[in-house]
Structure 1
Amino acid sequence: MMNKPTILFDLDGTLIDSTEAIVNGFYKAFRSYNLTEPTKAQICSLVGHPLEYMFGSLGVKEHLIADFIAIYKDDYRQNYLAQTTLLPSGFEAVSKASEFANLGVVTTKTSLYSKNLLENLGILKYFSVVIGRDDVTHPKPNPEPILKALEAIGKSSKSYMIGDTPMDAKAAKSAGIFSIGVTCGYESRENLESICDYVCLDTLSAVEYIKISNS
């Protein structure tokens, strides 16, 4: 495994589109308390952060955040498989990457939901490890989840993190690995270029860049 590079993937906005499931879960939580729902754009701007941070940033009082998360998770649990799809070229990106690299997932979703999604979408078999929010004490942008994934996979010639938010890049930099931003998700190219080592259109382009860099 040491002679192969390692590629770690974020999920939302990088490999999958679960916008509908996420937004509907937030709407359900706010409606349950008869509060004005945040806009879809407001919710999407926070995707990738832990739920505690997302609800707090949307104005939920601290003592209610746990209740909002519980309502969100209940709704998400019922709908996430039906309301989540692979991004265009997502399957091709993972399949192609598996031909020359060791693969892992690092996400702020829980590992159970992540594995269920990946299995349902037909790509779980390609990944050696899936690190979710429940597997670490400090999620991205802390390097802990990336370091944990790298430890599980083993030594590689070079390691990369592909993600659609600055949090992915910050975690990668702190972990000492190369960060690639993709503009197919929830962040602008300008913001990604300000922190990522490299930025491209989508995850397949990122995989092709890594393959060329290691040929």
Structure 2
Amino acid sequence: MSFKPTILFDLDGTLIDSTDAIVNGFYKAFKEHNLAKPSKEQICSFIGHPLEYMFGSLGVPNHLISNFIAVYKEDYRQNYLAQTTLLPGAFEAVNIASEFANLGVVTTKTSLYSKILLENLGILKYFSVVIGRDDVINPKPDPEPILKALKAINATASNAYMIGDTPMDAKAAKSAGVFSIGVTCGYESKKILELNCDYVCCDAVSAVEYIKIYKQQS
């Protein structure tokens, strides 16, 4: 059992900005099925949820959701590396965190895409585990992906932190017994995050600095 704290990161809106890749993939899916496309704001309001939920919430009939997802995934596969960047301070956050904690990623992206993306962005080497949508039955806000990540690195929930930009990250963390930190650099308002998270700050590097100071004082 490691005595180091464990820090789990969400991806979209927490460490990376893949807004263009996601939105363009949605536009392509709606265009191919001759349905009026939703606004960028509407799509962004659901980022972080599984694709099934996102398309359903945007008005796609249930029997067509799998077809929409197939078009989206093909477009995303072709474009996501070129259309995704690290958020400001993300590299610094991961670098600092790696000096005193075990790191993992818990995301609703597939772990395959996530690992390739993190490698392309130069930060995959910092993470001991990457848990994606394809690794679990129940994605966030269920605690399953967080618990699976902790088990993979033999870590305890009481010495772990989840950093994310949506209430789903916080709810999953709470159910798993993990301290949740919300960041306002993503897709949710500070007000909503404050209602759900144990602590809220502006970005991932601020979250890591908070954990570092807290661990030094405890």
TM-score of the superposed pair, with normalisation by structure 1: 0.99
The aligned counterpart of 2:70 is 70
**Deviation string, structure 1 residues 99-153 (Cα, Å, up to 9, x no partner):** 0000000000000000000000000000000000000000000000000000001
Q: Secondary structure in 2 aligned to 1:14?
A: coil
Shift of 1:207: 0.1
The aligned counterpart of 1:118 is 118
Q: Where do residues 106-185 of structure 1 align in structure 2 (5 Å cutoff)?
A: 106-156=106-156, 158-185=159-186
Rounded to whole Å, the distance in 2 between the matches of 1:165 and 1:153 is 24
Question: In structure 2, what residue type is equivalent to 1:164?
Answer: D
**Deviation string, structure 1 residues 152-189 (Cα, Å, up to 9, x no partner):** 01135610000000000000000001000000000000
**Deviation string, structure 1 residues 17-67 (Cα, Å, up to 9, x no partner):** 000000000000000011111000000000000000000000000000000
For structure 1, the residue ranges without an aligned partner over 5 or more in a row are none
The aligned counterpart of 1:33 is 33
Rounded to whole Å, the distance in 2 between the matches of 1:2 and 1:176 is 17
The aligned counterpart of 1:189 is 190
Question: In structure 2, what residue type is equivalent to 1:9?
Answer: F
Please provide the CA RMSD for this pair: 0.8
The aligned counterpart of 2:205 is 204
For structure 2, the residue ranges without an aligned partner over 5 or more in a row are none
Q: Where do residues 15-34 of structure 1 align in structure 2 (5 Å cutoff)?
A: 15-34=15-34
The aligned counterpart of 1:92 is 92
Rounded to whole Å, the distance in 2 between the matches of 1:34 and 1:63 is 15
The aligned counterpart of 2:81 is 81
Shift of 1:2: 2.0
Rounded to whole Å, the distance in 2 between the matches of 1:175 and 1:212 is 23
Question: In structure 2, what residue type is equivalent to 1:160?
Answer: Y
Shift of 1:3: 1.7
Rounded to whole Å, the distance in 2 between the matches of 1:137 and 1:99 is 32
Runs of 4+ with >2 A deviation: none
